[in-house]
Structure 1
Amino acid sequence: MTRTTPAAVYLIAIGAFALGMASYVTAGLVPLIERAFSVQVAVAAQLVTAFTLAYGIGSPLFVAVLPARRQRFGLMCALGLFVLANAASAMVDDFALLLLCRALAGIGAGVYLATGIAASAAVSAPAQRGKAIAVIMGGMASGTVLGVPLSLLLAEHMGWQAALWLVALLGALAWFGLLLKLPAIPAGPQAAPGRKLALLAERKVLLVLMVSLLAAVASLGMYTFMVPLLADPAYGAVGNITAHLWVWGLGGVLGSFLVGPLVDRLKGPLLTLLIMLVLAVSLLVLPMAASISPWLAMLPIALWGAVGWALQVPQNNELLAMRDAKGDGNLAVALNESALYLGSALGAAAGGLLLLWQMPNWTLAASAGAVALLGAALQILNLQEGRAHACADVLESSGRR
C-alpha cells in the first residue's frame, strides 16, 4: 500500500517557503532600507551579505554540534530563531542591530533547511524520501518565485518592515504546526563533531558537493546576468525582463516538485547527470534562441530554471543515503546548501569579470554552459566510481561465501 506524504513534511515546506522569501527579499528592500536608515546603498546591501555568509558558513558549524538525539529540538530551535530574528529585524531602529538580526536569521534558516530536509526524509517511507525532499525544495522555490514579489508589493504599500513581518508570520505558522504534528525523529548514530567534519575527506561526498558547486556557478551565477544578456540588441533588446524572470522561477517550482517521483524511481547519480546535461544545453542555446526571438528564449530559460532548482533534490537525497547511517547526514545537506551559496557568489564574480573585460554578452551564457558541462563530466566520474564500488562489494560478498 502506498503511504501518503506525512503532514509534517508540508509544514516543513511552509517554513521553507518563508526561508525562500527571506533569502531573496532583502535585496529588493535595499532601496527602502537605505532611505529609512540614511545609509549608502553599498552599506544597506551588506544586509544581504550578512544573511548569506551566516547561512553558508555559520549553519554547518551549528549543525555539526547538534546531537543526533536532539534533531527535532534543533529543528524547532532553528525555526524559532529564524522567526524571532525576522520579527526583530522589523522592529529595530539601529542599522547595526538590523545587520545582526539578518545574520541570526541566516543561521536559523541554514540550520532549519538542513535539519528539515533530514527530518522530512526520516518521517517518510523509504520509497517516498525523494518526494518528501522535493516538497521541501519546492516550498523554498515557491517562496522565492511567488513570495518575494508578494512581499515586495506589500513593502511598497506598508513599508519595508511589512515584508519581514510576513516572513515571520509564515515561519511562526510552520513552527506551531510542527509543534503539534512533527513526531520524534529517530536518532541515528552519534558522531563527535570532529568526526563529523571528517566527512569532507570522503571522496564521494566531495564529488557530490563539487557538482552542486559547479551547478550553482552555472545556474545561479548566470541568473545574475540575465538582464545584460537579454538587453543586448543582438539578443532581443528586452527592456523589461520580468516575464522572463517569472518563466525561470515558475520552471524552478515545477522542476522542484516534479523531480520527486523521478528520484524515487531512477538512481540519484544518473538523474543528476541528466539534469546537468540539460542545464548545460539550455544555457548554451540561450543566446541563439534569444537572437531569433526573446519569446523563444523563454523555452531554454524555463528548462534552465526547472533543472537548476530540481538538481538539489537528488543531490540531497544522495548525501542522506550516503551519510545518514554515520550520523552526519544533516551536516552533509548543510554543506551542500553552503556549496550553492558559494557557487552563486563565484558565478556572479566570474560573470562580472567577463563584463569588466568587455567580452561579448553571449560569453556569459556560453561560460555558464561550459561550467555545467564540467559538472556533468565530474558526475560521470561519480557514476563510474559508484559502479566500481558496487562491483567490489559483489566480489567481496562472493568471496565470503
Structure 2
Amino acid sequence: MINVIGRSKSRIPLILSQTGQAVSVFTLCYALAAPIFATLLAGKPMRRILVLALAVFSVGNGASALASSFSLLLMARAVAGIGAGLYSPLAAAAASSLVSEQKRGRALGMTLGGMSMGTVVGVPLGLVIAEHLSWQGTLWLITALGLIAMIGIVIWFPNFPASAPPSLRQRVAMLTNGRVSATIGITLMTSVASLGLYTYIASILHNLADINNITPYLWAWGIGGVIGSFSIGTLIDRTGRPGLLMAGILAILAFAIFSLPLGLKYPILSFLPFVLWGAMGWASQAPQQHVLLHLQPNHGAATVALNSSANYLGSAIGSALGGIVLLAGLAPSQLPFATGCLVLVTLLGQLLVVLRKNKEQ
C-alpha cells in the first residue's frame, strides 16, 4: 500500500490502480500457489517444505526491493506471493497436526494470531521505515525476517512428513462436496470484502475525513486482528459451533464496515470500527479451517490450502475491483457502503449453510 496523500490529484487514480495491481498480483499468485504446491509437495518432510517456502518468499521480497521498473516489481511480487502461498496453509495444517482434535481451534487461532501480530507490528513499522528510508527499506526488512524465520524452523521445528496427496478422484470429490465448496465460497466472499477494502484504507480515510496520518488506524485494525485471531480458537473449542460463529463474525463485520463513515465523525468512536473490522476479518479464517479439517480429516493440508487460496484470491479480486471502480469514477468514500452490502450477502449465504447442516443432522 502506498501513500497517495500529497500527490497531484490527476495522478491519484493511476497510483491507486497500480497499488491495486501490485496487491492483486501477490495475492493471485498466493491463491494459485497454495493448492498447487500443497499437492505437489505433499508427503515431503514438513520442515523442508516450510524452509523452501520462506526461501522463495525472501527471494521475492529482495527482488521487489531491487526492481527497476513497475513490470519487474510485479514479477517479483508474484514470486513472493508463491512463497507465501506455500507457507501459510502448511503452517496452519502443521499446527493442527501437533495437537489433539479438542485443541485444534486454539492451535489454528495461535497460528492466525502470530500472523496478525506481524500485521500489527509490521505495517506501522514498515510505514515508519518507508518514511525515513524508502519503501525498499521496508522490503529488505521483510526479507531479513524471512531468513530469520527459516533459521528458527531449521533449529526448532520437528521434522515430520506432510499428509499424502489426495488422488485425482479424491480431489474432485473434495471440490464437488457441497459443504466444502460452500465453506470455501464464504471464505472467498469475506476476503473480497474485508481484505479488498483494506487495500484502499488510505484513500478512504483521506476522502471521508481528510485524514493524512493513517498509522493510528492501521494500529487499531491490527490490534483488533490480534484480539480476534487469538480469541476465536478458544470460542471454537468451547462452543463446537464454528459455522454459527462464522455467521456472528460476518454480522459484526458488516456493522463495522457500515459504521466507518459515521465513526470518523466522532473522534472518541473513530477507531472502534477499525478494531472490529480487523478482529472479525482475522477471526473469520479459523472457523472455516476448522470446518474443512473436520470434513476432510485425511487431507488437512490440501483443504486448508484451498481455503487459503480462496482467501487470497478474494483479496486479489477485491483489490482489482476497487481499482476498477475508482478509475471509473466511484469516490473512495462510497467503498465502505458497497463492501458492507457484499458482507450482508455473504452473511445470508453462511446462514443458509448453517441451516442446511442442521437439517442434515
**Bin of the TM-score, shorter chain as denominator length:** 0.7 to 0.9
**Relative to structure 1, is the Cα distance of residues 220 and 85 closer, same or farther in structure 2, using a 3 angstrom cutoff?**
closer
CA contact (8 A) 1:75 1:116 kept: yes
Equivalence map 1:259-338=2 (5 Å):
259-266=232-239, 267-291=241-265, 293-325=266-298, 327=299, 329-338=300-309
**Relative to structure 1, is the Cα distance of residues 189 and 354 closer, same or farther in structure 2, using a 3 angstrom cutoff?**
closer
**Relative to structure 1, is the Cα distance of residues 192 and 71 closer, same or farther in structure 2, using a 3 angstrom cutoff?**
farther
Specify every segment of 5 or more residues in structure 1 that has no aligned partner in the other structure, as ranges: 1-26, 31-39, 391-401
Q: Distance in 2 between matches of 1:45 and 1:261?
A: 35
Q: Distance in 2 between matches of 1:161 and 1:252?
A: 26
CA contact (8 A) 1:122 1:185 kept: no
Offset from partner CA, 1:87-124 (integer Å, 9 cap, x none): 45556768766554432221111110011110011112
CA contact (8 A) 1:87 1:168 kept: yes
1:366 counterpart = 2:341: no
2:8 counterpart residue number: none
Equivalence map 1:1-400=2 (5 Å):
27-28=1-2, 47-90=22-65, 99-185=74-160, 187-193=162-168, 195-232=170-207, 236-266=209-239, 267-291=241-265, 293-325=266-298, 327=299, 329-351=300-322, 363-390=334-361
Amino acid of the structure 2 residue aligned with 1:277: A
Q: Distance in 1 between matches of 2:270 and 2:94?
A: 39
Q: Distance in 2 between matches of 1:362 and 1:91?
A: 34
CA contact (8 A) 1:236 1:294 kept: no
Specify every segment of 5 or more residues in structure 2 that has no aligned partner in the other structure, as ranges: 5-13
Amino acid of the structure 1 residue aligned with 2:198: Y
Q: Distance in 2 between matches of 1:373 and 1:112?
A: 31
Partner SS state of residue 184, structure 1: coil
RMSD: 3.3
**Relative to structure 1, is the Cα distance of residues 174 and 209 closer, same or farther in structure 2, using a 3 angstrom cutoff?**
same
Q: Distance in 1 between matches of 2:316 and 2:293?
A: 25
Amino acid of the structure 1 residue aligned with 2:287: P
Name the % identity. 39
Q: Distance in 2 between matches of 1:314 and 1:180?
A: 31
Q: Distance in 1 between matches of 2:214 and 2:123?
A: 16
Offset from partner CA, 1:341-383 (integer Å, 9 cap, x none): 3323433455556656766776532332222122121111221
Residue 228 of structure 1, CA deviation: 5.0
CA contact (8 A) 1:320 1:332 kept: yes
Alignment size in residue pairs:
351
Residue 83 of structure 1, CA deviation: 2.8
**Relative to structure 1, is the Cα distance of residues 118 and 296 closer, same or farther in structure 2, using a 3 angstrom cutoff?**
same
**Relative to structure 1, is the Cα distance of residues 365 and 79 closer, same or farther in structure 2, using a 3 angstrom cutoff?**
same
Amino acid of the structure 1 residue aligned with 2:232: V
Partner SS state of residue 288, structure 1: helix
Residue 337 of structure 1, CA deviation: 2.1
Offset from partner CA, 1:285-338 (integer Å, 9 cap, x none): 3333334x143232222111111111111112222222232x2x2222222222
TM-score, normalized by length of structure 2?
0.83
TM-score, normalized by length of structure 1?
0.76
Amino acid of the structure 2 residue aligned with 1:324: P
Q: Distance in 2 between matches of 1:71 and 1:346?
A: 30
CA contact (8 A) 1:209 1:335 kept: yes
**Relative to structure 1, is the Cα distance of residues 202 and 56 closer, same or farther in structure 2, using a 3 angstrom cutoff?**
same
**Relative to structure 1, is the Cα distance of residues 194 and 94 closer, same or farther in structure 2, using a 3 angstrom cutoff?**
farther
Amino acid of the structure 2 residue aligned with 1:366: F
User: Which structure has more RCO (C-alpha within 8 Å, separation ≥ 6)?
Assistant: 2
Q: Distance in 2 between matches of 1:228 and 1:45?
A: 12
Offset from partner CA, 1:370-400 (integer Å, 9 cap, x none): 221221211112212222333xxxxxxxxxx
Partner SS state of residue 218, structure 1: helix
